[in-house]
Amino acid sequence: MDLGSLASRPDEPWGRQELLDALRDVVQHLNPSTKLRFFIDGLDEYDGYEEDIVGLLQDLAVSPHIKICLSSRPWNTFVNAFGKSEWRLVVENLTRADMGKYVHEMMNETDTVTTITQEDITMLELQIVEKACGVWLWVFLVVRDLLRDIRGGEDFAFLQRRLESFPEELEHYFENILSRIDRIHQCYTARIFLEALDSVRPLPVLALKYILLEREDPDVALKLEPGYELDSRDNGPSRWSKLLNSRCRDLMEIQNSRTKTL
């Protein structure tokens, strides 16, 4: 491949195959003193044919100048390609004990154990850790939802059905959470998430008020007096916690007058 000709066309986006060919060409012409390391997380999130990404990684790994550290859920394609490596680590085996401890402590809070037996709790703990496959965020979300059901008086049979209903993929889990947001709140929800993503620090509660005001009047920033603050009716953290919960469904919460995002 003529990399020079590609570089001479800055206005034309590179195609996927051009990028792959360019990467392979660079690897083949590495200086003998050059050493490269690639850290690649989440192969199972690759949006394409799994065999393609496996083939690329195997081509790169042939070079004595390249070392690759990668991670993935144990999908068959990746297990077949990389599962026999002597350097393979199964993360869920390393985190299982810590996960079990966390789940046990959370599920045995004195104010939650009301409608199910200790034997039932132990069974749920084992099932949660087994289904998590080493994903801590998934464990946190599942335990939180199950504790809400327990506090609501649900029995063991319902809790098991609930656990079985949770998506194993975080992306689908978040889609499930977002689908429960009332349609009338979705625009406000989107604005909150966008502001949180762009912010370099946790949003203050006042930012939620500004977003709400701007939804009602796009020019509100031009009309507010300098030094505008929340009045006493708006300043209660409990009110904003409730509003944030209805808009963001536990994906954000208020701590010390600032929002916290999962």
Condensed to tens digits (0 to 9), the pLDDT of residues 4-28 reads 554 555 567 788 788 888 888 888 8
Please identify, among 145, 160, 179, the residue that sits at the C-terminal boundary of a domain: 179
Q: Are 10 and 52 members of one domain?
A: yes
153-188 tens-digit pLDDT: 888 999 999 999 998 888 888 888 888 888 888 888
Q: Are 134 and 208 members of one domain?
A: no
Domain that holds residue 165: 91-179
Please identify, among 132, 152, 179, the residue that sits at the C-terminal boundary of a domain: 179
Distances (CA, A) of 113 to 117, 142, 158, 164, 238: 8, 17, 15, 21, 25
Q: Are 27 and 12 members of one domain?
A: yes
Q: Which residues contact 34 (CB under 8 A, 6 or more apart)?
A: 65
Tell the residue number behind the tokens 């037996």, with chain if given: 117
Q: Are 134 and 156 members of one domain?
A: yes
Q: Are 115 and 38 members of one domain?
A: no
**Statement: residue 124 has pLDDT above 80:** yes
Please identify, among 62, 82, 102, the residue that sits at the C-terminal boundary of a domain: 82
Q: Are 99 and 40 members of one domain?
A: no
Q: What percent of the chain has pLDDT over 70?
A: 85
Q: Into how many domains does the chain fold?
A: 3
Q: Which range (66-70, 107-111, 159-163) has the least confidence?
A: 107-111
Name the CA radius of gyration of the chain, rounded. Answer: 25
